[in-house]
Structure 1
Amino acid sequence: MEEKYRYDHEMPLRVDEWSPRTYVEPFHWHASLEIGLCLSGKGWFYFGDKTYEVTAGDIFVVNNLERHIAQSDAADPSNYLFVNFRPELFGDGDKELLLPFVYNPKKFTNKMAKELPAARQIGELIRQMRTEQLNKQAGHRQIMKGLLLQICALLFRHYSNHPGYKEQFNQIYEQYMRLQPALAFLRDRFRENIGLEDMAKQLKLSCSRARHLFKHIMGEGFKEYLTQLRINEAKKLLSGTERTVTEICMSCGFQNISPFYRAFRQIVGMTPQAYREQSALFILRTEQDEEPVFPE
């Protein structure tokens, strides 16, 4: 599912504190770019098929394509600061600072371990951004933007050390931007009976070329990505509504129940009914064990 952020004063930049659940929630993505800092605790961070162990001080880079979710260790729950910002915050002269966010998910390492000097620098800059946002003193938005530029410059320096990565940036960036209409279409229309031909029309390409471009940029096939979108939506409805499994199946874009059950078991590892029961149990335990957290 897509998560959306609201920004203050029309500046597309904010820093939020967040603690993941101790169970794996549905994967999500968002229109913004994201940089995460683990403040305390332990856990795991999932990016598609990749899993990273998390400890305090680790930094994570997330673009607006890759599906992801964090999970806390029940014995030592994790707490994060997440910087969310829109690419348009950068002018043409700073385009190269977006390089760390334009990547092939299968080949990219999202984690910067806390032991790295750059990770320690970035962590301190993120803390300063959070302080500026909370205090809201005169000029805080300009200072936050300046801190973000420093962070992205450090990320750029770190990732551009990878052989050949900088040289490939312009080509990757163009392909990345070219895919945006198709991704927006899928996120808006995945609940409908759509297929590869519909996605290819958004790109004005043949089906074979559209399939190849999608796999190259996303690191997974069109069909797999579409199925994952639908299953994520089904998980949300199973845990958050009382609608029947059949109703949820049909509302998520599946045309009959058999493919839905097959895909759900393959991706989630259990039946929809079992997932609903497990979610209800987790929610009950969370309500009993956790104190309420009030927004600022």
Structure 2
Amino acid sequence: MQVAYDLERDLPVKVSEWTPSSSLETFHWHTALEIGYCVSGSGWFFFGDKKYRAKAGDVFVVNNMERHIAQSDPDNPSKYLFVFFSKEIVESEQELLLPFIYRPATFQNQIPAEQTAARKIGQLIHFLRQEFAERQPAFQAMIRGTMMQICALLLRHYGQHSPPGRNNSVFSLYFILLPALSYLQENFREPLELSDVASQLALSPSRTRHLFKEVMGIGFKDYLTELRVNEAKKLLASTDLSIMQVYLQSGFQNHNSFYRAFNAIVGMTPNQYRFCKSK
């Protein structure tokens, strides 16, 4: 099962309730940033090779690149509130993005329920849900302000565990890379080479390759493939396009490369994925 998280342009935030399956499903990733709050029950949360035992009150932080999936304990199924949002919601205070600019291998995605940050963030997520449900006058302003508070709490929490100077270093590198990320988001359907991206940064292809790995924790080719597979998943689930039309509109040049990449990332063939989404 996949959580719905299409974001509106004017208010790019969404709160969704989700009960994970008790069987381990295919890992996925989102183009949005994500915060998960375990409301009840227990289970596990997987991020790449990392595995966390999850319980009520825990908070989980996910950026827009790390593959992940939650799983319920069959004897005590978990229920989550997930907040999906675009970075534009806090762009006036760009340092609030720092908790989402991390190296997946060493980042601690879980904030345990016992910690003050988890309790405060959980309360604010419940408040967000209430604002969306009631939609009283100026609810958009309330939601934007609440997102600022949540991200500020995350910044304080992770700032306590970061080496001195680490935030400034990662932040500056991220904003050097940002034009390339925007370029890829807009042009991933086209044939692209590393040199195309490097030209957006006025850097050499070699330096661009190292910068990608350092900031994103993933190589340029892998990042581009993830973008294309994510687009293919969207088209498979929401349109009746043929498989050929899907892979061509997603940026893949041929059948073999598409099937190989899709199966490696999603864990099933495109036809199997479409069938699962049609149930």
TM-score band, normalised by the shorter chain?
A: 0.7 to 0.9
SS in 2 for 1:29: coil
Q: Say whether the 8 Å CA contact 2:27–2:67 is kept in structure 1.
A: no
Task: In structure 2, give the amino acid aligned to 1:262.
Answer: R
Alignment of 1:196-275 (within 5 A): 196-270=194-268, 272=269, 275=270
- Structure 1 residue aligned with 2:188: 190
- Structure 2 residue aligned with 1:124: 123
Task: In structure 2, give the amino acid aligned to 1:184.
Answer: S
Question: How many Å apart are 1:229 and its aligned residue?
Answer: 1.9
Highest Rg: 1 or 2?
A: 1
Q: Say whether the 8 Å CA contact 1:58–1:114 is kept in structure 2.
A: yes
Q: Say whether the 8 Å CA contact 2:89–2:144 is kept in structure 1.
A: no
Question: How many Å apart are 1:108 and its aligned residue?
Answer: 1.4
Aligned equivalents of 2:255, 2:16: Cα separation in 1: 39
Question: How many Å apart are 1:141 and its aligned residue?
Answer: 5.5
Task: In structure 2, give the amino acid aligned to 1:6.
Answer: E
Aligned equivalents of 1:24, 1:253: Cα separation in 2: 22
Change (3 A) 1:129 1:212: same
Q: Does 1:280 align with 2:275?
A: yes
Question: How many Å apart are 1:116 and its aligned residue?
Answer: 2.3
Question: How many Å apart are 1:20 and its aligned residue?
Answer: 5.7
- Structure 1 residue aligned with 2:80: 79
Aligned equivalents of 1:197, 1:71: Cα separation in 2: 37
SS in 2 for 1:18: strand
Q: Say whether the 8 Å CA contact 2:247–2:254 is kept in structure 1.
A: yes
Deviates more, 1:152-161 or 1:77-86: 77-86
Task: In structure 2, give the amino acid aligned to 1:40.
Answer: S
Q: Say whether the 8 Å CA contact 2:209–2:220 is kept in structure 1.
A: yes
Change (3 A) 1:173 1:121: same
Aligned equivalents of 2:138, 2:260: Cα separation in 1: 54
Task: In structure 1, give the amino acid aligned to 2:29.
Answer: F
Aligned equivalents of 1:37, 1:262: Cα separation in 2: 34
Change (3 A) 1:88 1:216: same
Deviates more, 1:113-122 or 1:66-75: 66-75
Change (3 A) 1:45 1:136: same
Question: How many Å apart are 1:217 and its aligned residue?
Answer: 0.6
Change (3 A) 1:250 1:49: farther
SS in 2 for 1:205: coil
Question: How many Å apart are 1:126 and its aligned residue?
Answer: 2.3
TM-score, normalised to structure 2, is 0.78
Change (3 A) 1:85 1:25: same
Aligned equivalents of 2:212, 2:175: Cα separation in 1: 12
Partner residue of 1:168 out of 163, 166, 169 = 166
Q: Say whether the 8 Å CA contact 1:179–1:214 is kept in structure 2.
A: yes
Residues 45-73 of structure 1: CA distance to partner in whole angstroms, max 9, x if unpaired? 4545545444322212234x424454453
TM-score, normalised to structure 1, is 0.74
Name stretches of at least 5 consecutive residues in structure 1 with no aligned partner: 285-296
Question: How many Å apart are 1:220 and its aligned residue?
Answer: 0.8
- Structure 2 residue aligned with 1:290: none
Change (3 A) 1:20 1:280: farther
Question: How many Å apart are 1:260 and its aligned residue?
Answer: 2.6
Question: How many Å apart are 1:185 and its aligned residue?
Answer: 1.7
Aligned equivalents of 2:79, 2:229: Cα separation in 1: 26
Q: Say whether the 8 Å CA contact 1:215–1:221 is kept in structure 2.
A: yes
Task: In structure 2, give the amino acid aligned to 1:112.
Answer: I
SS in 1 for 2:106: coil
- Structure 1 residue aligned with 2:176: 178
Aligned equivalents of 1:237, 1:145: Cα separation in 2: 30
Count of residue pairs brought into register by the alignment: 271
SS in 1 for 2:166: helix
SS in 2 for 1:262: helix
Name stretches of at least 5 consecutive residues in structure 2 with no aligned partner: none
Alignment of 1:27-106 (within 5 A): 27-30=29-32, 33-42=33-42, 44-48=44-48, 50-63=50-63, 65-68=64-67, 70-71=69-70, 73=72, 75=74, 76=77, 78-82=79-83, 84=85, 86-87=87-88, 89=90, 91=92, 96-106=95-105
Question: How many Å apart are 1:42 and its aligned residue?
Answer: 4.5
Change (3 A) 1:251 1:167: same
Task: In structure 1, give the amino acid aligned to 2:217.
Answer: G
